Structures are given as C-alpha cells and as structure tokens.
Structure 1
Amino acid sequence: MTFMSSDTTGPLTPVLHWVATPADPSAVVLVLHGGKVRSTAPAQTNHLSAARMRPFARAVATKVPNTAVVMLQYRMRGWNGADESPVADARWALDEIRTRFGDTPVILLGHSMGGRTAAAVADDASVCAVMALAPWWMDPGATDTFRPGRQLVVLHGTMDRWTSPRISRAATERAADRGVDATWTSMSFAGHFMLMRPWVWTRKVVKTITAMAQRCRDDHPEHRARQENRR
C-alpha cells in the first residue's frame, strides 16, 4: 500500500462490479482490493490496487463453476485509522449480496488492505471462507474474528516489504489454534504486489477458491438437507 494522504471527500456509497452472475450460484466470491494507510480520496476502478485484483476475479469467474464473482469499489482509498473505512463498505456489500442471493455462502478474496478488511468482517454469518493475499495485518489478533470451522488460506511473499509475512503467519497459526481451518503458504521471492510470476498466484487462487466453493456448498445447511433426503 502507498503511504500518501488526501483530504478529498470520497463518494457517498461504495459500488459493486459484478464479474459473473449465474442465476443460482453455489457460492459468491467478494473481491476486496488494497488501498492506502490514510486517504479520503475516492477509490477508482483505474487505481492499481483495483486493477491488480481484476485478473484474479476474471480467472475465478472463468474457471470456478457456478460461482458468482463481484468486486467491491470502496468509497475512499484509505483505511483511515479508527474509521476503518473499507470495513463499513464490505459489510454493506455483504448485505447487498444477501439481498440478491439470500443465504448463499460468501468467500472473501482480499489483497493487502483488502485482506485486513476481509479479516474484520469474517464474523459475518454469510462468510464461509477467506483467502488473503499479502494481508496488511498489524498483529496476530487480526484473525480473532474467524469462527472455528471456517476456512482461511493466506499467501504471502518472502520479499514483501510493505506488509509483514511474519505477522500474517502468526495470525494464521493463532486462528488454527482456535479451530479455524487455517493455512499459510510462503511465496518464495515474491514481493507485495505479486509481480513475480503472477501466473503462480493466479493458479493458486483458482485452485483454492475452487476447493473453498465446493466445501462451502457441501457445508451449507440446504445442501446437506438435500443430501440427507436422497438417502
């Protein structure tokens, strides 16, 4: 993330950009992009933080069957201290997804500040899994919002100088100790912006989201009830 600031007021509402919208998806992937430490400038789709996540969103939309994919455009670019600006936006997005798709399980895919936002809203009833790429977690307690039995997968580059692989690993291990199905993977020689061998990141994201979507579907009460009725 970039350590710059602005006093420009952002838009009044966040925006959802739908990438894939099957009629009756078995899961919804909500993509959360990165941002700045502090900025009230409006978030824009042409910012690098958003552009960085579009290839992942397109790959998931293309390769993960029967999965809706949507990208969240925050009101403003920054986390902004105690305001935690993108957290309110993400909770709004989860409400919008419920309005459209009911209790369909949601998988959060977040990079950097998006990973921090994902952890902050992981307590939402719709969230079944989180995949965090180089998450901006300030301490190991970032994952205390995860409920036991939920899924967490973290990828973090060994050469990251913007966010801490050490903290994200400690946070993942802390979640695992609490009963979360949590996995941390080191991305050798990769930096924060995932520019080194981006196809490796994409391949791992698609593989992980595919497995998460299958498990979220299998764990969903409605799906389990149908399976029981067939016996």
Structure 2
Amino acid sequence: MSEPTDLVTPPADVTVAEGTKRGTATAKIPSRVQTAIARRMAEVRATVPTWTASVDADVEELTVGLPGGVQFVDAVVRATGLALRRHERVNGAWRDGKLESWTQANVALAVDLDGESIVLPTIQDAGGQSLAGIAARRAELQQKAREGALRAPDSAGPTFALIDGGPDGPDRFDAIMPPGVGAALAVGAPRRRPWVIGDSIQPRHVVTLTLTADHRAIYPSHGGAFLRSLAGLLEDPRDVLDA
C-alpha cells in the first residue's frame, strides 16, 4: 500500500510542489550547531528530572532607574549573581552522583543568533561585578557571538544559565537547562500590569521569572527561596544599581 503523500518526508533542502493537506513543504538541513543544540537539549529532557516554578516581580523602580548604556537584562544578571551568592545550593549541579556547588556565580547568558542557533557565553562572577561592568561585558559577548568570534574562554565555567526573552518576547516561558548546570532562569518581557500596593491597585512594570531546576540537586525549597531573593532584589533595586 502506498504511503499518504502528506506523511512522506521530502529530501533535505528540497521544496515539494505537489499539493498536500499542509500546502507546499520545504525541508532544510540543520547546521552542525543546530544539530548539536537539538541533541543536547533532547539529552537533558530525557535524562534530567526537572521542575519549574515562577514568581512575578514589580520592576517599576528598576526600569526607571537604569543608567544610560545599561539594559534591563544586565540588571537581572547582576541580581541573579547576588541571589546565587545567598543560595549556594542553586549555584550548583548534580555531577557523577555528587552535589557540587560553587562560591562564584558565573551566568551563561543565551544569545539567539537570528533564530539560526543559540550560543551561551558566560559572564564571570556576576555577583561581584559592577552593573556597568556587566553591561559592557554582555555587549562585548553579544557582538562576538554575532561575528562568530566567540572562543572557548568566553563560555567557560558556567554555574547557572539565564535565558532572556527580550522586550518583545513572551510574558512567561520555561527554559531548558544547558548541560553542566543545575538550574536555568527564563526572564519574560516586563509588561504593565495591575499590581497591589498597600490598599490600592496601580499599573506597574512586572516581570515573570521562571526557574527550571534539576530535582536531584535543587529542591523546590531551595529554588523557591532563591526566586524570592531575586524578586526582592529587583523590586528594591538599590543593591543592583549601586556599584
């Protein structure tokens, strides 16, 4: 019996002009980078038991207080580094049947290269750098990523991953952890939402932070405390904006 035409996989990089129930189909061979990303993400999903949790944070004061040349994601990276210093368990991973944690928070920041691939350069010691220093390093790494100039030291030693959806991204999404870390944070787009302040409801910029964690190394009690600390740093951003 012949196979239905809409179930036949076309050869790679060939446009199928024949009519199907899904219209004209185009198949494309993924790059080696795309194939490697797909394989690693599938391995993580298949082998790592994860859980997710979200909190909302009022970032109105932070958004109006950002100095020139600094983006919202830079402040989130610094706040993440500061929070990881307080919650060492989240700044760790399950490795070879052991719990490892680190004192220095190195945040791997996902860079989407026009939807063709994703790279994860690392901002070293995010909790110990100034906000201006983080902004400068983030801009440098993003430029190198777009130019294909990243080198191994640029992505070395991550202890945590951060995936920023950007100002035009979704309000909330879940991240898949890259290999080698125990947790990843997905940062939704800040949106104006109703927010309770005292006995009144006011429009404020609010961001949803979603943590994905390896349950073998990080329990919800650890991750929940980390998320609350992070939200607190973003809502009262004096420690984030100082230094």
TM-score, structure 2 normalization = 0.27
Larger radius of gyration: 2
* Greater fraction of residues in helix: 1
